[in-house]
Amino acid sequence: MDLVIGPLDLAARIDEALTVQAVAFGLGPEEVAVRRQIVQRHMQYRGARALGASVGGLLVGFVYGMPNSRTHWWSTVVEPYLRARDNDGWLDDSFVITELHVHPDHQNRGIGRRLITTITDSAAEPRSILSAIDIDSPARGLYHSLGYVDLARQVHFPSAPRPYAVMGAPLPLRRR
């Protein structure tokens, strides 16, 4: 497989990335339009960066994240849930994984694992946090295997129909 993992100019390749996310995560056209605005804003945050996985020049997966700030919208939503479990210290000195998606045709080949370990290996922060839909899923299985533990469960984001779990792991992520 001619797989290349490397830096991705997400602002420039937003349509390709959102096509992958729409198929992998199940987004409709309206949600894609909303995500386009959000991603463009996120990429202006300090330290925000993205990696892409390409096969034959075609983008098949991507990850992006940034050093966390308690002022970011995501942090303000999860903070009370983490504080209730005395875990809100995880919001400081932490690299947030904001999105990770691999096209279904290319899943279960180690691409997601490589994307998240590579981007967190370049982080200066000693730990990483993220949120994932609070169900048993390939994503949650992957995160657990990398050392992420549950910091809060049943976290409700406005407008998201399903609750999320917030997870955190020390960096570097655990290797098999």
Ligand X SMILES: CC(C)(COP(=O)(O)OP(=O)(O)OC[C@H]1O[C@@H](n2cnc3c(N)ncnc32)[C@H](O)[C@@H]1OP(=O)(O)O)[C@@H](O)C(=O)NCCC(=O)NCCS
Strand partners, 51: 7, 63
- Give the whole-angstrom CA distance, residue 97 versus residue 153: 17
CB of 47 or CB of 147, closer to ligand X:
147
The site that binds ligand X (CB under 6 A) totals a number of residues, namely 18
DSSP 27: -
> Residues 11 to 40: which contact ligand X by CB under 6 A?
24-25
76 binds ligand X (CB under 6 A): no
How many residues are recorded in the chain? 176
Supply the minimum distance, in Å, between the C-beta of residue 108 and ligand X.
5
Supply the minimum distance, in Å, between the C-beta of residue 132 and ligand X.
4
Supply the minimum distance, in Å, between the C-beta of residue 101 and ligand X.
4
End-to-end CA gap in the chain: 22
- For 166, phi then psi, to 5°, come to -100, 130
> Residues 133 to 172: which contact ligand X by CB under 6 A?
138-139, 141-142, 145
Single out the residue of 101, 120, 148, 151 in contact with ligand X (rule: CB under 6 A): 101
Which tokens belong to 26?
């199940």
CB of 28 or CB of 86, closer to ligand X:
28
Dihedral, 138, 141, 146, 147 alpha carbons, nearest 10: 150
Residues in contact with ligand X by the rule CB under 6 A: 24-25, 100-102, 107-113, 132, 138-139, 141-142, 145
